[in-house]
Chains A and B, each alone.
Chain A
């Protein structure tokens, strides 16, 4: 159980601890990048089965963004699509023996939330300008400025904790089932964890889209 909260440190890189989570993240990243390269190395006008799946995924993400922020589907696609893919894959990585779900480590969940935290003003400023973006913090009244800042910070923590808690909870339950009956009982739970992973990826993605859309949206008056 201690391993779940304090992952094993393999080595230090530039003074930064390379934990089991980081190594698992690299493996997940390598898997995603190699798979992406493999699928997209030859894009056919008539798509193959794998290409179809990838196109379906990309179109779904674009449509999700367009639904909330029309005209920005392709601008937010790299970040939002990467979040969805990474969280979805990372959340089920623990099903592979020897791997740890990177999202069950608070450092990963918080890192992702931090990326979103910085991406929101990045897109907001890029699309509305510094003044336009920060005006939202003092509207309708400057008194609301601290509340806006608190809201930004708390939602970042909420994003991180929601993801971390759900995936960790899943891992803990599967671990307990393994301890009680290691043969067949954990299997349904492991299958359920796939579903949970996809749901968490969807929630994290959709919240990110909501936050970014709100930041780039121009409010009248």
Chain B
């Protein structure tokens, strides 16, 4: 038969005591440990989030730097190309000027040579004419022979003149 006796009081007291004892020796330390771990995990997660943020910032900064460097590189290359083009232009211009100067110098020299040749020719012709006159005067030369001699001499002089002219033209082309 079910019977309720005074031991129920002891059982109530026992259970209340057990609640306090388990709170002291079990629940409190376990909850504390769970909280501590939770805090630790939260702290670690926060640290990771902060580190992630820092890394993200670093990444952004590096990307920015990379972009700047690329721009700098492109700018430098463009500038270098421009400068190279300028230098090239300068060199070509200088070379052209130098060439022009050399050409003018040679032209001048050729002109001088031609003038010198002309004067030499003139002297030669005078000499030849003197010779012809001398010979004409020394021997009796018929008018036909005289004409023939003068024509021959004139032809020879013309050939020499043409040769001189050709030499002068060749020098100018060089």
Contacts and interface: CB of A to CB of B under 8 A. Distances in A.
Interface of A: 5-6, 13, 15-19, 21-22, 25-26, 29, 32-33, 36-37, 39-40, 43, 45, 47, 51, 54-55, 58-59, 74, 77-79, 81-82, 85-86, 102, 106-108, 110-112, 114-115, 164
B26 A107 contact: no
Given A81-B22, A82-B15, A40 B30 contact: yes
A186 to B, nearest CB: 25
B8 A110 contact: yes
Contacts of B37: 45
B31 interface: yes
* Majority DSSP secondary structure for residues of A touching B: helix
A30 to B, nearest CB: 10
6 contacts: A16-B10, A29-B17, A29-B21, A45-B37, A59-B34, A74-B31
A158 to B, nearest CB: 14
Nearest to A12: B6
Interface of B: 1-12, 14-23, 25-27, 29-34, 36-37, 40
Given A16-B7, A29-B14, A32-B18, A40 B36 contact: no
Contact of A26 (B14, B16, B32): B14
B26 A40 contact: yes
Given A5-B2, A29-B21, A55 B7 contact: no
A114 B13 CA distance: 11
A47 B40 CA distance: 14
A40 B25 contact: yes
A111 B6 CA distance: 11
Contacts of A25: 11, 14
A78 B19 contact: yes
A107 B13 CA distance: 12
Contacts of B7: 16-19, 21-22, 107
B15 to A, nearest CB: 6
A16 to B, nearest CB: 5
Given A58-B31, A115-B12, 17 more contacts: A5-B1, A16-B7, A17-B10, A18-B10, A33-B21, A40-B33, A43-B32, A45-B40, A47-B33, A55-B33, A58-B26, A78-B19, A102-B11, A107-B5, A108-B11, A110-B4, A111-B8
B19 A114 contact: no
Contacts of A26: 14
Contact of A58 (B1, B10, B34): B34
A36 B5 contact: no
